[in-house]
Amino acid sequence: MGSQRETIVIIGAGVVGVSIAYFTTKRLVSEHPDPESRPRVILLEQCEPGCSASGKSGGFLARQWSDSTDTEQLARFSYDLHAKLAEEHDGASRWGY
């Protein structure tokens, strides 16, 4: 029998679960170049990704909405990360942003 690989299971494919799966996989690829030895990442969802609360939001991002609040730093980081990921994955041509 072949070697056993670790399996990471993430439950919930909303924005948080998908983000965890994405960044976990990205890190594992850099740390384990050989796909056969790389831990697997499994994302579980009861219906389909974004089918619950994450999929019902309007998807509107505003960088200034949290200014002068306790969440200002998180909001700015999230906004900047969204732009970085869109650039990294050619969002302009793939999704229009």
Name residue 41's beta-bridge partners.
Answer: 8
Query: 44-80 in b/e burial notation, b at 16+ Cβ within 10 A?
Result: ebeeebbeeebeeeeeeeeeeebeeeeeeeebeeebe
pTM value surpassing 0.85: no
pLDDT tens for the chain, 97 residues: list them.
456 889 999 999 988 999 999 999 999 999 999 999 999 999 999 998 888 877 666 666 777 878 898 988 888 888 898 889 999 999 889 988 7
What's the confidence (pLDDT) of residue 57?
67
Nearest by Cα to 21 from 34, 46, 36, 40: 40
Report the amino acid identity of residue 88. Answer: E
What's the confidence (pLDDT) of residue 62?
75
Q: What is the 3-state secondary structure (H, E, C) of 29-51?
A: HHHCCCCCCCCEEEEECCCCCCC
What's the confidence (pLDDT) of residue 60?
65
List CB contacts of 37: < 8 A, sequence separation 6 or more. 3, 5
Report the amino acid identity of residue 69. Answer: T
Other C-beta atoms lying within 10 Å of the C-beta of residue 22: 13
